[in-house]
Amino acid sequence: MKRRPPRLGETLARLSTHYGREFLPTDPIQFPHRYGAAGDQEVVAFVAAALAYGSVPQIAQSVERALAALGAVHSSPAAAIDAWRIGEHRGLVEGFRHRFNDGRDLACLFSFLSQMRRRAGSIAGFFAEGRRPDDTLRESLASFSRRALALDAGALYGRELPRDAGVRFFFTSPLDGSACKRLCMFLRWVVRPNDGVDLGLWTCLAPRELVMPLDTHTTRICFANGLSPSPFATWRNAEHVTAALRRYDPADPVRFDFALSRLGILRVSDRRCGLRVRVPTRRR
Protein backbone atom coordinates (compact mmCIF):
# COMPACT_ATOMS: atom_id res chain seq x y z
CA MET A 1 0.00 0.00 0.00
CA LYS A 2 1.25 3.49 -0.83
CA ARG A 3 2.08 5.82 2.05
CA ARG A 4 -0.54 8.33 3.10
CA PRO A 5 0.38 11.97 2.52
CA PRO A 6 1.00 14.06 5.65
CA ARG A 7 -2.04 15.93 7.00
CA LEU A 8 -4.33 13.78 4.87
CA GLY A 9 -7.26 14.29 7.25
CA GLU A 10 -6.91 18.07 7.04
CA THR A 11 -6.75 17.93 3.25
CA LEU A 12 -9.86 15.75 3.04
CA ALA A 13 -11.77 18.07 5.36
CA ARG A 14 -10.73 21.12 3.32
CA LEU A 15 -11.76 19.49 0.04
CA SER A 16 -15.13 18.35 1.41
CA THR A 17 -15.82 21.96 2.46
CA HIS A 18 -14.72 23.39 -0.89
CA TYR A 19 -16.69 21.00 -3.11
CA GLY A 20 -20.18 21.87 -1.96
CA ARG A 21 -23.56 22.72 -3.41
CA GLU A 22 -22.17 24.91 -6.21
CA PHE A 23 -20.72 21.76 -7.79
CA LEU A 24 -24.09 19.97 -8.04
CA PRO A 25 -24.25 20.53 -11.84
CA THR A 26 -21.20 18.25 -12.20
CA ASP A 27 -22.98 15.26 -10.61
CA PRO A 28 -26.20 13.27 -11.17
CA ILE A 29 -27.35 14.26 -7.67
CA GLN A 30 -28.41 17.51 -9.32
CA PHE A 31 -31.59 15.76 -10.50
CA PRO A 32 -33.33 14.95 -7.18
CA HIS A 33 -32.57 18.52 -6.07
CA ARG A 34 -35.08 19.72 -8.66
CA TYR A 35 -37.92 18.42 -6.49
CA GLY A 36 -39.17 19.43 -3.07
CA ALA A 37 -41.15 16.38 -1.96
CA ALA A 38 -39.22 13.55 -0.27
CA GLY A 39 -40.96 10.86 -2.33
CA ASP A 40 -40.03 12.57 -5.58
CA GLN A 41 -36.45 13.04 -4.46
CA GLU A 42 -36.14 9.38 -3.48
CA VAL A 43 -37.49 8.08 -6.80
CA VAL A 44 -35.41 10.46 -8.91
CA ALA A 45 -32.30 9.71 -6.84
CA PHE A 46 -32.65 5.99 -7.53
CA VAL A 47 -33.20 6.48 -11.26
CA ALA A 48 -30.29 8.93 -11.53
CA ALA A 49 -27.95 6.66 -9.55
CA ALA A 50 -28.98 3.60 -11.57
CA LEU A 51 -27.95 5.37 -14.79
CA ALA A 52 -24.76 6.89 -13.33
CA TYR A 53 -22.22 5.03 -15.43
CA GLY A 54 -20.42 6.36 -18.48
CA SER A 55 -19.51 9.97 -19.27
CA VAL A 56 -21.11 12.83 -17.32
CA PRO A 57 -22.87 14.31 -20.41
CA GLN A 58 -24.16 10.88 -21.40
CA ILE A 59 -25.49 10.24 -17.89
CA ALA A 60 -27.23 13.62 -17.78
CA GLN A 61 -28.85 13.07 -21.17
CA SER A 62 -30.14 9.62 -20.19
CA VAL A 63 -31.52 10.78 -16.83
CA GLU A 64 -33.30 13.66 -18.57
CA ARG A 65 -34.84 11.18 -21.00
CA ALA A 66 -35.97 8.91 -18.15
CA LEU A 67 -37.50 11.81 -16.22
CA ALA A 68 -39.27 13.01 -19.37
CA ALA A 69 -40.92 9.59 -19.66
CA LEU A 70 -42.12 9.84 -16.06
CA GLY A 71 -43.22 13.44 -16.65
CA ALA A 72 -45.49 12.27 -19.43
CA VAL A 73 -47.40 10.25 -16.84
CA HIS A 74 -47.49 12.78 -13.98
CA SER A 75 -45.64 15.94 -12.97
CA SER A 76 -44.64 14.20 -9.71
CA PRO A 77 -42.07 11.44 -10.37
CA ALA A 78 -43.33 9.47 -7.35
CA ALA A 79 -46.93 9.70 -8.57
CA ALA A 80 -45.77 8.71 -12.05
CA ILE A 81 -44.04 5.62 -10.65
CA ASP A 82 -47.17 4.74 -8.67
CA ALA A 83 -49.25 5.02 -11.83
CA TRP A 84 -46.72 3.23 -14.04
CA ARG A 85 -48.26 0.40 -16.02
CA ILE A 86 -46.06 -1.41 -18.52
CA GLY A 87 -48.86 -2.15 -20.95
CA GLU A 88 -50.01 1.47 -20.98
CA HIS A 89 -46.73 3.35 -20.67
CA ARG A 90 -43.98 1.22 -22.18
CA GLY A 91 -44.11 3.26 -25.38
CA LEU A 92 -42.81 6.26 -23.42
CA VAL A 93 -39.39 4.62 -23.20
CA GLU A 94 -39.27 3.24 -26.74
CA GLY A 95 -35.89 3.99 -28.24
CA PHE A 96 -34.24 4.72 -24.88
CA ARG A 97 -30.60 3.68 -24.81
CA HIS A 98 -27.94 4.23 -22.20
CA ARG A 99 -24.86 2.28 -23.21
CA PHE A 100 -26.02 -1.34 -22.74
CA ASN A 101 -29.35 -0.60 -21.04
CA ASP A 102 -32.42 -0.09 -23.21
CA GLY A 103 -36.05 0.91 -22.93
CA ARG A 104 -37.16 -2.49 -21.67
CA ASP A 105 -34.63 -2.26 -18.83
CA LEU A 106 -35.88 1.20 -17.89
CA ALA A 107 -39.53 0.09 -18.06
CA CYS A 108 -38.68 -2.84 -15.79
CA LEU A 109 -36.85 -0.54 -13.35
CA PHE A 110 -39.88 1.74 -13.17
CA SER A 111 -42.10 -1.30 -12.60
CA PHE A 112 -39.88 -2.59 -9.78
CA LEU A 113 -39.86 0.82 -8.07
CA SER A 114 -43.64 0.95 -8.42
CA GLN A 115 -44.00 -2.46 -6.77
CA MET A 116 -41.64 -1.43 -3.95
CA ARG A 117 -43.76 1.63 -3.23
CA ARG A 118 -47.05 -0.29 -3.37
CA ARG A 119 -45.69 -2.95 -1.05
CA ALA A 120 -43.75 -0.88 1.48
CA GLY A 121 -44.72 2.75 0.88
CA SER A 122 -41.28 3.81 -0.31
CA ILE A 123 -37.95 2.49 -1.51
CA ALA A 124 -36.70 2.99 2.04
CA GLY A 125 -39.53 0.84 3.37
CA PHE A 126 -38.71 -1.94 0.92
CA PHE A 127 -35.02 -1.75 1.84
CA ALA A 128 -35.83 -1.91 5.55
CA GLU A 129 -38.14 -4.93 5.14
CA GLY A 130 -35.17 -7.17 4.37
CA ARG A 131 -32.80 -5.69 6.94
CA ARG A 132 -32.14 -7.55 10.19
CA PRO A 133 -30.93 -5.62 13.27
CA ASP A 134 -27.36 -6.97 13.12
CA ASP A 135 -26.94 -6.86 9.32
CA THR A 136 -23.97 -5.05 7.83
CA LEU A 137 -24.50 -3.01 4.69
CA ARG A 138 -23.11 -5.94 2.71
CA GLU A 139 -25.93 -8.18 3.89
CA SER A 140 -28.58 -5.46 3.59
CA LEU A 141 -27.63 -4.60 0.01
CA ALA A 142 -27.52 -8.26 -0.99
CA SER A 143 -31.02 -8.72 0.42
CA PHE A 144 -32.32 -5.57 -1.27
CA SER A 145 -31.05 -6.56 -4.72
CA ARG A 146 -32.16 -10.16 -4.38
CA ARG A 147 -35.70 -9.17 -3.37
CA ALA A 148 -35.89 -6.45 -6.04
CA LEU A 149 -34.99 -8.91 -8.79
CA ALA A 150 -37.66 -11.31 -7.49
CA LEU A 151 -40.42 -8.75 -8.15
CA ASP A 152 -42.88 -9.32 -10.98
CA ALA A 153 -41.38 -8.69 -14.43
CA GLY A 154 -43.87 -10.92 -16.21
CA ALA A 155 -45.23 -8.27 -18.56
CA LEU A 156 -41.74 -7.85 -19.98
CA TYR A 157 -39.99 -11.18 -19.57
CA GLY A 158 -42.49 -13.88 -18.78
CA ARG A 159 -42.62 -15.88 -15.57
CA GLU A 160 -38.92 -15.70 -14.74
CA LEU A 161 -36.40 -12.86 -15.11
CA PRO A 162 -33.64 -14.06 -17.49
CA ARG A 163 -30.06 -14.16 -16.25
CA ASP A 164 -29.05 -11.69 -18.96
CA ALA A 165 -31.87 -9.20 -18.33
CA GLY A 166 -30.39 -5.70 -18.38
CA VAL A 167 -32.37 -4.60 -15.32
CA ARG A 168 -30.09 -6.80 -13.22
CA PHE A 169 -27.34 -4.24 -13.78
CA PHE A 170 -29.29 -1.79 -11.60
CA PHE A 171 -29.36 -4.22 -8.67
CA THR A 172 -25.83 -5.50 -8.11
CA SER A 173 -24.82 -7.50 -5.03
CA PRO A 174 -21.76 -7.40 -2.78
CA LEU A 175 -21.95 -11.20 -2.62
CA ASP A 176 -20.70 -11.24 -6.22
CA GLY A 177 -17.71 -9.06 -5.30
CA SER A 178 -19.17 -5.97 -6.95
CA ALA A 179 -18.32 -2.61 -5.37
CA CYS A 180 -22.01 -1.71 -5.92
CA LYS A 181 -20.89 1.84 -6.67
CA ARG A 182 -24.26 3.14 -7.87
CA LEU A 183 -26.24 1.60 -5.02
CA CYS A 184 -23.71 2.86 -2.45
CA MET A 185 -23.89 6.30 -4.05
CA PHE A 186 -27.69 6.28 -3.89
CA LEU A 187 -27.49 5.34 -0.21
CA ARG A 188 -25.03 8.17 0.44
CA TRP A 189 -27.45 10.60 -1.17
CA VAL A 190 -30.50 9.52 0.83
CA VAL A 191 -28.89 8.60 4.19
CA ARG A 192 -26.39 11.39 4.83
CA PRO A 193 -27.85 14.58 6.36
CA ASN A 194 -29.10 17.34 4.10
CA ASP A 195 -25.90 19.38 3.69
CA GLY A 196 -26.68 21.06 0.39
CA VAL A 197 -25.36 18.08 -1.55
CA ASP A 198 -26.87 14.97 0.02
CA LEU A 199 -30.56 14.72 0.83
CA GLY A 200 -31.07 13.26 4.31
CA LEU A 201 -34.22 11.28 3.43
CA TRP A 202 -33.76 7.91 5.16
CA THR A 203 -33.64 6.98 8.83
CA CYS A 204 -33.30 3.19 8.49
CA LEU A 205 -29.51 3.51 8.12
CA ALA A 206 -26.98 5.71 9.88
CA PRO A 207 -24.18 7.49 7.99
CA ARG A 208 -21.58 5.45 9.90
CA GLU A 209 -22.97 2.27 8.27
CA LEU A 210 -22.45 3.46 4.70
CA VAL A 211 -19.72 2.12 2.42
CA MET A 212 -17.67 4.27 0.08
CA PRO A 213 -18.97 4.32 -3.52
CA LEU A 214 -15.93 3.37 -5.56
CA ASP A 215 -15.72 4.34 -9.22
CA THR A 216 -12.60 4.29 -11.39
CA HIS A 217 -11.49 7.78 -10.40
CA THR A 218 -12.13 7.46 -6.68
CA THR A 219 -10.52 4.03 -6.45
CA ARG A 220 -7.30 5.23 -8.06
CA ILE A 221 -7.16 8.37 -5.91
CA CYS A 222 -7.69 6.35 -2.73
CA PHE A 223 -4.98 3.90 -3.80
CA ALA A 224 -2.54 6.70 -4.65
CA ASN A 225 -3.03 8.26 -1.21
CA GLY A 226 -2.67 5.13 0.89
CA LEU A 227 -6.35 4.62 1.67
CA SER A 228 -6.58 1.41 -0.32
CA PRO A 229 -4.34 -1.60 -0.98
CA SER A 230 -5.58 -1.91 -4.56
CA PRO A 231 -6.58 0.34 -7.51
CA PHE A 232 -9.53 -1.92 -8.34
CA ALA A 233 -13.18 -1.30 -7.52
CA THR A 234 -14.35 -4.33 -5.54
CA TRP A 235 -16.57 -4.66 -2.49
CA ARG A 236 -13.63 -5.72 -0.36
CA ASN A 237 -11.70 -2.64 -1.43
CA ALA A 238 -14.72 -0.39 -0.80
CA GLU A 239 -14.89 -1.70 2.77
CA HIS A 240 -11.15 -1.15 3.18
CA VAL A 241 -11.37 2.46 1.96
CA THR A 242 -14.34 3.10 4.25
CA ALA A 243 -12.43 1.73 7.24
CA ALA A 244 -9.48 3.99 6.39
CA LEU A 245 -11.75 7.05 6.13
CA ARG A 246 -13.31 6.29 9.51
CA ARG A 247 -9.99 7.38 10.98
CA TYR A 248 -10.90 10.92 9.90
CA ASP A 249 -14.66 10.79 10.58
CA PRO A 250 -15.91 7.71 12.45
CA ALA A 251 -19.56 8.84 12.34
CA ASP A 252 -19.66 9.80 8.66
CA PRO A 253 -16.78 8.28 6.67
CA VAL A 254 -18.32 8.66 3.21
CA ARG A 255 -18.79 12.43 3.53
CA PHE A 256 -15.53 12.75 1.59
CA ASP A 257 -16.90 10.93 -1.47
CA PHE A 258 -18.39 13.92 -3.29
CA ALA A 259 -15.13 15.86 -3.05
CA LEU A 260 -12.91 12.93 -4.03
CA SER A 261 -15.04 12.12 -7.04
CA ARG A 262 -14.88 15.80 -8.17
CA LEU A 263 -11.08 15.50 -8.34
CA GLY A 264 -11.34 12.80 -11.00
CA ILE A 265 -14.36 14.12 -12.89
CA LEU A 266 -13.00 17.68 -13.06
CA ARG A 267 -9.40 16.50 -13.60
CA VAL A 268 -8.05 18.55 -10.72
CA SER A 269 -4.26 18.57 -10.52
CA ASP A 270 -2.20 17.27 -7.61
CA ARG A 271 -0.82 20.72 -6.90
CA ARG A 272 -4.26 22.29 -6.80
CA CYS A 273 -5.92 19.79 -4.44
CA GLY A 274 -3.01 18.62 -2.29
CA LEU A 275 -3.58 14.91 -3.00
CA ARG A 276 -2.06 12.46 -5.44
CA VAL A 277 -4.69 12.15 -8.15
CA ARG A 278 -2.66 10.40 -10.83
CA VAL A 279 -1.53 6.80 -10.54
CA PRO A 280 1.56 6.30 -12.71
CA THR A 281 1.42 3.27 -14.98
CA ARG A 282 4.29 0.81 -15.05
CA ARG A 283 6.35 0.64 -18.19
CA ARG A 284 6.76 -2.80 -19.66
**pLDDT on residue 1:** 65
Strand partners, 97: 102
The pLDDT > 90 percentage for the chain reads 86
Identify whether the C-beta of residue 74 lies closer than 8 Å to the C-beta of residue 43.
no
* CA triple 87-90-94, angle to 5 deg: 150
Q: Is the dihedral of CA 124, 180, 215, 53 positive or negative?
A: negative
**pLDDT on residue 278:** 67
CA 22 from centroid of its chain's CA atoms = 20
**pLDDT on residue 76:** 98
For residue 96, give every residue at least 6 positions away whose Cβ sits within 8 Å of its Cβ, in sequence order, or none. 62, 65, 66, 69, 102, 103, 106
Instruction: Name residues of the chain where pLDDT drops below 50.
Output: 281-284
**pLDDT on residue 281:** 46
Total residue length of the chain = 284
**Phi and psi torsions of 102, nearest 5°:** -120, -170
**pLDDT on residue 283:** 40
In 3D space, the residue among 55, 24, 7 whose CA is nearest the CA of residue 217 turns out to be: 55
In 3D space, the residue among 89, 92, 112, 105 whose CA is nearest the CA of residue 43 turns out to be: 112
